[in-house]
Amino acid sequence: MNGLLRRPAPWLALGVVLLAGTILVVVGAHRPAARSDTTRTSDLAAEVRRFAAGLHAGDPYRPPEPAQRRRLLSALHALEAGKATHAADGLGFTARTGVDEETGRRFGLLANGPGERAWGWYLVDLSAPVRLVIEVPHPNSDLHTEEIGLALYQAVPGSVLLVAGTHRRAGAGAGDVAHRTDSMFHAVATDLAARGLPQVQLHGFHDDNLPDTDVVVSPGAGDAGAAVRRVADRIDADLRVCRSWRQDCGRLEGTTNVQGRDAARRGTLFLHVEISRAVRDDRVAWSKLVRAIARADLGRG
């Protein structure tokens, strides 16, 4: 009797095998599909740091032709609408969507690498209607501005982040997108400005250029309206601010910036922000700056 109890009957063993197989089939049928590229989470901070670190003053560069600028704009419009981005085919851009691991929000990204057609890194928040444009024209020249720009993007749902694809001195200065109207960066910025969207453009200055100042706030070539003044007041709670409409901030006021001049002509908000090296090197300090700009809610004018 004891031996029979220890050894299961053949029919019982067969039943167990069949039941296990049925369970495996049912579980397999309901197993979630592998995560696709459209839902893959990404460390965008690491990505933008790598992108900026690959840009150098001696890199080759040539501005895009007008037709190429139009094609990229079509691709960005499609990306924002959640459609395929075939318009960027042949421009050297990689298009993808994913989820930002920091915020859990969906994004779309068009980016290309160094080389003659180094035309930028364009990030769109797909979780909300577009309400703010954040611009980094001098990555790996105005150090850490790309990180600050991404942090502001993450702080404001519905943002678009534009990062230039060149070092400002690439192509004998042709890569300085803040002072060139023939760049892909300028084409994207002006397209968004034409929709009435406010822009924040981030720059950096050496501490000895304005020793008693942490941040210079300016409307560029435009007027300092309520939103610009509100940002300055919020920043002033934690950092020393030079207001261009009230003080002489030297050559840091952005009055010759071409995106700012375009915005002034259109009557759209343009906020030119110059950040000292000391603040850019201090994550705690620049995080206060990011919070101040985000809480000023530029979208309400």
Q: Is the pLDDT of residue 276 over 60?
A: yes
pLDDT in tens, 199-213: 999 999 999 999 999
Q: Is the pLDDT of residue 33 over 70?
A: no
The per-residue pLDDT for 294 is 97
Residue owning tokens 């100042």: 213
pLDDT confidence tier of residue 43, bands split at 50, 70 and 90: very high
Q: Is the pLDDT of residue 20 over 90?
A: no
Q: How many C-beta atoms lie closer than 10 Å to residue 82's C-beta?
A: 11
Question: Chain-wide mean pLDDT for the chain?
Answer: 88
pLDDT in tens, 175-192: 999 999 999 999 999 999
The per-residue pLDDT for 15 is 42
Q: Where are the domains of the chain?
A: 41-300
Q: What is the rounded distance in angstroms from the CA atom of residue 301 to the CA atom of residue 292?
A: 15
Q: Could you tell me what percent of the chain has a pLDDT over 90?
A: 81
Q: What is the rounded distance in angstroms from the CA atom of residue 35 to the CA atom of residue 41?
A: 9
Backbone angles phi, psi at 175, to 5 degrees: -85, 0
Pair type for strands 215-218 and 159-163: unpaired
In CATH, the architecture of 41-300 is: 3-Layer(aba) Sandwich (3.40)
Q: What is the rounded distance in angstroms from the CA atom of residue 199 to the CA atom of residue 191?
A: 12
Q: What is the rounded distance in angstroms from the CA atom of residue 209 to the CA atom of residue 46?
A: 30
Q: Which residue has the higher pLDDT, 4 or 114?
A: 114
Contacts of 96 (CB under 8 A, 6+ apart): 37, 38, 108, 109
pLDDT in tens, 106-151: 999 999 977 899 999 999 999 999 999 999 999 999 999 999 999 9
Q: What is the rounded distance in angstroms from the CA atom of residue 280 to the CA atom of residue 127?
A: 28
Q: Is the pLDDT of residue 5 over 90?
A: no
Nearest-5° Cα angle at 184, 181 to 188: 90
The per-residue pLDDT for 301 is 63
Cα 175 vs. chain centroid, distance in angstroms?
19
Q: What is the rounded distance in angstroms from the CA atom of residue 264 to the CA atom of residue 74?
A: 25
Range scoring the smallest mean pLDDT among 6-15, 18-27, 67-76: 18-27
pLDDT in tens, 142-163: 999 999 999 999 999 999 999 9
Strand order in the sheet with 199-205: 41-42, 94-100, 106-111, 121-125, 159-163, 132-136, 199-205, 270-276, 215-218, 241-243
C-alpha distance from residue 301 to each of 191, 196, 231, 252 (Å): 19, 11, 11, 23
Q: Are 112 and 120 in contact (CB under 8 A)?
A: yes
